[in-house]
Amino acid sequence: QADTGQTIDVNNPATGLKIGTVPKAGKAETRRAIEAANEAFKSWRKTTALERSKLLRKLHDAMMDNQDVLAELLTIEQGKSLFESKGEIGSAA
């Protein structure tokens, strides 16, 4: 949530219909996100390549297990064809 409580509407570009809202973050929220990432990196950099690869494999498997649902969301959000969205999820995984 943004400090101001403000949001930005997210619309399906194919239909123009509102599909949700996202926080309208500003400098303070951005600064906190960067600080959190820097803090998380302290432990991540100690993670071995083997541990990282195991985690990334789990993320890949989760994305592929949910490819259809993720593709539907991507299609709604970006107005892409479902076929294109499925391909993008597969490539991202």
Residue 64 near residue 86, CB atoms below 8 Å: no
Residue 74 near residue 14, CB atoms below 8 Å: no
pLDDT of residue 75: 95
Cα gap 70→30, rounded to integer Å: 26
Condensed to tens digits (0 to 9), the pLDDT of residues 21-56 reads 999 999 999 999 999 999 999 999 999 999 999 999
Q: Quick one: tokens of 61?
A: 């498997």
Strands (E), 1-93: 7-11, 18-23
Mean pLDDT confidence for 84-92:
97
CA atoms 75, 82, 67, 91: torsion sign: negative
Condensed to tens digits (0 to 9), the pLDDT of residues 51-87 reads 999 999 999 999 999 999 999 999 999 999 999 999 9
What residue spans define the domains of the chain?
A: 1-46, 48-93
Residue 66 near residue 85, CB atoms below 8 Å: no
Mean pLDDT confidence for 10-31:
95
Is 90 exceeded by the pLDDT of residue 1? no
One-letter amino acid at 59 equals L
**7-11 and 18-23 as β-strands: parallel, antiparallel, unpaired?**
antiparallel
